[in-house]
Structure 1
């Protein structure tokens, strides 16, 4: 069962509205906009979490980011066919 919905009136630039409408597909503009807003809320929540973590532990260095990206890349290679864990 889906969450209850409400009807809202929003204002946005016409070119953005038309582009969203063209891309919305069979689910419709409302679903497309709702998904975009949900993604933005997730990003806002992540940014808040980052600010709290950086306030407590200090900012993440470029080197730490590179090291974590390398670890993620290696893990993804091992999960894909032909990677280190394939038979």
Structure 2
């Protein structure tokens, strides 16, 4: 994450803000919100990549998705990493 910061004013539902504040810990609400926005940007960028690849290669099939999940699960088992990809 960038070390340069700027102050912003945002509006969000109070219950969400209070839940975030209670989970933010010592780093504070600003860090918690910045991390959440960074994760959303990663998801948005991944969706952009998927759209670009599908426009070039066609839609991803359910079979391809399942094959990839199976490969990831096999790799996790080989590494002894818990948690299956569903």
- Structure-2-length-normalised TM-score: 0.90
Other structure's SS at 2:30 match: helix
Greater RCO between the two (CA within 8 Å, min separation 6)?
Answer: 2
Could you give the per-residue CA deviations for residues 31-80 of structure 1, whole angstroms, max 9, x where no partner exists?
A: 00000000000000000000000000001000010011001100110011
What is residue 75 of structure 2 aligned with on the other side? 75
State whether structure 2 residue 58 is matched by structure 1 residue 63: no
State whether structure 2 residue 28 is matched by structure 1 residue 28: yes
- Structure-1-length-normalised TM-score: 0.89
Gaps of 5+ in 2: 82-86
Gaps of 5+ in 1: 82-87
Runs (4+) of structure 1 exceeding 6 A deviation are: none
Shift of 1:3: 1.5
State which structure, 1 or 2, has the greater radius of gyration over its C-alpha atoms: 1
